[in-house]
Structure 1
């Protein structure tokens, strides 16, 4: 009796990284490798200030975190904004994390403003009804711990967008209704080691970091691993979407 071995699924991921004090892309890459052991990942890294990936290629494009503020309107950000719109128009999966979350919202017609108190450390996030129904949160409980590190927040969503998660009065995740596009304000990839690097490099423009280390308990560090499932499930759904696009193009 012969047995067939299922070939590993393949996925191409492009990380677009704005200026940052830590390597968020490497952190997300490590999480994906850990939560998707049966998927062959091909990751590519792009500096947001340089040449950007083809908007019609890659199963997923991820715009990562940054100390830069959307309100700064740096020259490279104008180019990235145009890229984001082209990627959305291509109807291919796009994910924004922290700065990327804010940048997506702003690029697509939403608004980003200063958060009076800022937010930092391992905190609790709650899903909305829309979040419970979204494919990226199918394996995440209604409330979960994760890492926050931001001084701005999305105050108005783009048209046709829905809120997926909140923490107090901040929108922690949103998705477009008609495109495979999602933004998450929180950082599932941040470990206690990365968190301490952020605190060490903090300045007057950083989130309030005095009490961050108090949140980095062993219990909380174990709990936040649940939020990493968001990356896994978003990528799985993205691969299905990419397969559908490829199939439809083949039939034409």
Structure 2
């Protein structure tokens, strides 16, 4: 299916929080590429620069959330005013999204936003260094329509300082990995979050490695090791989630 074959004309919304233009623009380009959407049907909102717009959930097809340098589990005194504003605005939106079961797919930061809404424990217990890990679908994941076309086990890019350490009540576990038990889950029928990054290719994660080298994801002398880690295996399957999400929910 091409973008011109998609039903309806209501846009999807990408919520982004990256202050650096290079990684932010590349992230948007990757979402466009992997969803197959034209720019006019993927509205980007850079929340680190502007407040959340008044989104009419009846007038959009769905919401995507990109990765973020923000950590939900950081103590309040370490959170900037911008981060606190963004978290409050996303929390209000997530409350409405979950209540209405609006199509939503949060990549990495989506786990933090949905997990916070559900009161799930979010901490560093299952943090993963920037790398490629093998993600395996659960029995529920193998039958979930969003995961249609995914192999039972597939390589995926990860890199996060925090994760959900216990699946919250009401959530359905869809995928896991040996180093992070909650890699993907669903709420209701249409609200999803992944800990891994379905929006990244190798060039995209290399860009982020260089852009966030001083953000504590790896030690100063581990740049080459980190670059080697993301080349461990080719990563292709996760992006299917984005295309399936668009094909399922475009209206």
TM-score by length of 2: 0.80
* Deviation (angstroms), 1:55: 4.7
Higher strand share: 1
In structure 2, runs of 5+ residues without a counterpart are: 77-82
* Deviation (angstroms), 1:135: 0.7
Please, which of 165, 177, 193 is the counterpart of residue 167 of structure 1? 177
Q: Which residue of 1 is the match for residue 229 of structure 2? A: 215
Q: Which residue of 1 is the match for residue 12 of structure 2? A: 13
Q: Which residue of 2 is the match for residue 227 of structure 1? A: 238
* Deviation (angstroms), 1:97: 0.6
Mapped to 2, the partners of 1:64 and 1:117 lie a distance apart of: 18
RMSD of the alignment, in Å? 2.4
* Deviation (angstroms), 1:20: 4.9
CA contact (8 A) 1:166 1:172 kept: yes
For these two proteins, the number of residue pairs brought into alignment is 226
CA contact (8 A) 1:180 1:238 kept: no
* Aligned ranges 1:64-213 → 2 under 5 Å: 64-72=66-74, 74-76=83-85, 77-115=87-125, 118-170=128-180, 171-176=182-187, 178-201=188-211, 202-207=213-218, 210=223, 211-213=225-227
SS of corresponding position for 2:94: helix
* Deviation (angstroms), 1:53: 4.9
Higher RCO structure, 1 or 2 (CA under 8 Å, sep 6+): 2
| Higher Rg of the two aligned structures | 1
* Deviation (angstroms), 1:40: 9.5
Mapped to 2, the partners of 1:19 and 1:110 lie a distance apart of: 24
In structure 1, runs of 5+ residues without a counterpart are: 1-6, 243-252
Q: Which residue of 2 is the match for residue 58 of structure 1? A: 60
